[in-house]
């Protein structure tokens, strides 16, 4: 046996540039704190008695402010945190509900002109409609309905 004073180990980080980890009731909660960036990540963790062992999981599309919960997990570490794309926070779906008062409770018109499909989201649920046409959506896709579910609306392009 011998000791090499120049030998160093770079352990995985509990946090990274954009990802923060907290432990709550036996679950690891990973949050993307970068307000204008979509990230991809790889996270390692140790399971509890129901998921005994050392594990890792990947998140391919981690939105700003999004929480990713790893259940029954301890000692969570960020193995990779990679910038995927800039997040466009502009809301292209315009609320037309007032023009359909009494008939529909949430009417949105998609005004997005870019490439890909623009989705209106609340929590983990997303929906889309054709560009330029008012469409009736579930209440949760309008701002008040989404807030009633404990979230804020956001949009993403895929």
N-terminal to C-terminal alpha carbon distance within the chain: 55
What would the mean pLDDT of 38-54 be, rounded to a whole number?
Answer: 90
The pLDDT value recorded for residue 1 is: 46
Kind and range of the H or E run holding 5? none
pLDDT digits (tens, 9 = 90+) for 87-127: 999 999 999 999 998 899 999 999 999 999 999 999 889 99
Higher pLDDT residue, 107 or 66? 107
> Is the distance from CB of 64 to CB of 32 less than 8 angstroms?
yes
The pLDDT value recorded for residue 109 is: 98
Q: What is the pTM of this model?
A: 0.71
> Is the distance from CB of 14 to CB of 34 less than 8 angstroms?
no
What would the mean pLDDT of 35-52 be, rounded to a whole number?
Answer: 91
């Amino acid at each position: 046996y011998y000791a090499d004073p120049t030998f160093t180990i770079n352990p995985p980080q509990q946090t990274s540039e954009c990802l923060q980890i907290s432990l709550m009731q036996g679950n690891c909660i990973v949050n993307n704190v970068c307000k204008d960036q979509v990230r991809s990540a790889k996270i390692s963790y140790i399971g509890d008695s129901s998921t005994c062992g050392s594990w890792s999981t990947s998140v391919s599309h981690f939105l700003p402010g999004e929480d990713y919960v790893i259940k029954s997990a301890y000692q969570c570490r960020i193995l990779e945190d990679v910038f995927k794309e800039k997040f466009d926070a502009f809301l292209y779906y315009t609320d037309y509900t007032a023009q359909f008062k009494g008939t529909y409770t949430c009417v949105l018109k998609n005004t997005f002109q870019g490439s890909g499909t623009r989705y209106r989201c609340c929590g983990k649920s997303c929906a889309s409609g054709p560009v330029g046409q008012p469409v009736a959506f579930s209440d949760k896709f309008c701002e008040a309905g989404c807030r009633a579910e404990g979230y804020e609306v956001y949009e993403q392009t895929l």
